[in-house]
């Protein structure tokens, strides 16, 4: 096995595979190594649909070996430490590997220890998560007979920040179809301050919440789960001028104490687990105080180490962590790597924070939230031309895009380094 590569990529997810594939298309002679321990690559955006019983989990998985681009060396191993001062990555079994250029796209890791009781509760009984076991979520939905269906998310950044509310809408629609919505309280509790940061999309989602009679609870930061008693505890973080009184004997049965701790009973609970950068990233000299890789927001080059780039979930970028963001980030990284190797320097500063969140609002309905660093609604021109309608409103065509077209584009275009 080689001990040095011109370009070393860490991560066999969307960003890593796309970068390696696009680089090979530009220059087939490039010596590229890709570090990734997993045997299977998952198309995780479809897990929302799996959790609602409308997508086959098996179709979200493909062998990693089938996706590694031709001519790229697959280092099937774990990265355990980064030494950018020496241009070296240490691995679990293969020892040290050096590089001329490093691309970091290892994704996030779930850290259930950050919410008390979650490690013991997750994916058991009526506690579920599309982030960890979407098939269990579907079983929980099918077994729900009424009462409190609570959907929440942690205070940490997470992959696709809209996913915890997508399953809430699908669940509400499923309960409506089963005829039990009238006997249910569907609650979406979030540490955030609004349902969505893009104004046009927010207006649509508030109508969706109203349609299902959902209870929206902002400023609710979950910190503890008692799975045995079926109670979730939140810290209420609303400022004085935004606080809403919690009355005794309310419909949901929530209570608040003098320490601003809210307790809420549940008959089913879905949540996104807290997520962080992998330990080998957090322990490196590449991160900021919050544990994310510090890169220029527009070129994705590291602010201190000029031969290091990071993209996707692990990068300290003030935008949503989604596959759509990576789709726009990869060409910028590829351009800049090629520019550096040709001694032309950084030539692409075009990444504007573009991300998108396909917000499924029911079976057969979806809104497509596309936005930039300033939370401007920024529909992709190609997509806008194809759809010929306002994608900030619900439409069945967007559902078709989510369920059929995006998975096709992912496997057949993005993963093969083709332009999308």
Q: Which residues are catalytic?
A: 160, 357
C-alpha–C-alpha distance, residues 264 and 246, integer Å: 11
Q: Alpha helix (H) ranges present in 184-278?
A: 199-212
C-alpha–C-alpha distance, residues 34 and 412, integer Å: 20
C-alpha–C-alpha distance, residues 57 and 135, integer Å: 7
CA angle (181 as vertex; 177, 185 as ends), nearest 5:
150
CA angle (79 as vertex; 350, 416 as ends), nearest 5:
50
Ramachandran category for residue 299: left, alpha or beta (phi over 0 → left; psi -120 to 50 → alpha): alpha
C-alpha–C-alpha distance, residues 121 and 138, integer Å: 17
Judged by DSSP in three states, 48 sits in helix
C-alpha–C-alpha distance, residues 210 and 285, integer Å: 47
Cβ 391 vs Cβ 400: under 8 Å? no
Q: Alpha helix (H) ranges present in 27-162?
A: 47-51, 118-121, 134-143
Give the residue among 150, 167, 160 at the shortest CA–CA distance from 233. 150
What phi, psi does 95 have (nearest 5°)?
Answer: 75, -155
Q: Measure CA of the first residue to CA of the last residue in the chain; give whole Å.
A: 34
C-alpha–C-alpha distance, residues 413 and 406, integer Å: 10
Cβ 335 vs Cβ 347: under 8 Å? yes
Pairing of strands 184-189, 215-217: parallel
């Amino acid at each position: 096995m080689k001990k040095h590569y011109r370009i070393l990529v860490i991560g066999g997810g969307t960003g890593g595979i796309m970068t390696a594939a696009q680089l090979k298309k530009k220059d087939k002679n490039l010596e590229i190594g890709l570090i990734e321990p997993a045997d299977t690559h998952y198309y995780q955006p479809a897990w929302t649909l799996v959790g609602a019983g409308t997508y086959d989990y098996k179709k979200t998985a493909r062998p990693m070996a089938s996706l590694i681009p031709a001519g790229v060396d697959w280092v099937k191993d774990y990265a355990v430490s980064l030494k950018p001062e020496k241009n070296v990555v240490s691995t679990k079994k293969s020892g040290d590997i050096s590089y001329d250029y490093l691309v970091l796209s290892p994704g996030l890791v779930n850290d259930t220890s950050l919410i008390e009781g979650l490690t013991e509760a997750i994916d058991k009984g009526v506690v579920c998560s599309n982030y960890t076991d979407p098939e269990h979520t579907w079983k929980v939905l099918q077994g729900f007979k009424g009462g409190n269906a609570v959907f929440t998310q942690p205070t940490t950044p997470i992959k696709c920040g809209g996913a915890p509310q997508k399953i809430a809408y699908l669940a509400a629609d499923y309960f409506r179809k089963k005829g039990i919505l009238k006997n249910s309280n569907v609650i979406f509790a979030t540490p955030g301050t609004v349902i969505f940061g893009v104004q046009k999309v927010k207006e649509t989602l508030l109508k969706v919440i109203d349609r299902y009679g959902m209870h929206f609870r902002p400023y609710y930061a979950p910190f503890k789960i008692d799975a045995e008693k079926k109670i979730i505890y939140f810290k209420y973080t609303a400022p004085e001028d935004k606080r809403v009184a919690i009355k005794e004997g309310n419909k949901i049965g929530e209570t608040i104490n003098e320490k601003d701790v809210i307790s809420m009973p549940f008959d089913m609970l879905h949540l996104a687990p807290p997520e962080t950068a992998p330990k080998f990233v957090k322990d490196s000299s590449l991160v900021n105080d919050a544990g994310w890789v510090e890169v220029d927001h527009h070129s994705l080059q590291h602010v201190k180490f000029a031969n290091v780039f990071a993209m996707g979930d692990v990068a300290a970028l003030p935008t949503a962590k989604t596959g759509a963001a990576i789709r726009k980030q990869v060409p910028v990284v590829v351009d800049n790597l090629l520019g550096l190797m040709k001694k032309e320097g950084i030539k692409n500063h075009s990444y504007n924070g573009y991300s998108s969140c396909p917000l499924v609002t029911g079976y057969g309905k979806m809104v497509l939230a596309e936005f930039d660093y300033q939370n401007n609604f920024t529909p992709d021109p190609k997509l806008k031309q194809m759809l010929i309608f306002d994608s900030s409103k619900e439409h069945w065509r967007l559902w078709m895009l989510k369920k059929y077209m995006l998975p096709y584009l992912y496997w057949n275009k993005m993963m093969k380094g083709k332009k999308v």
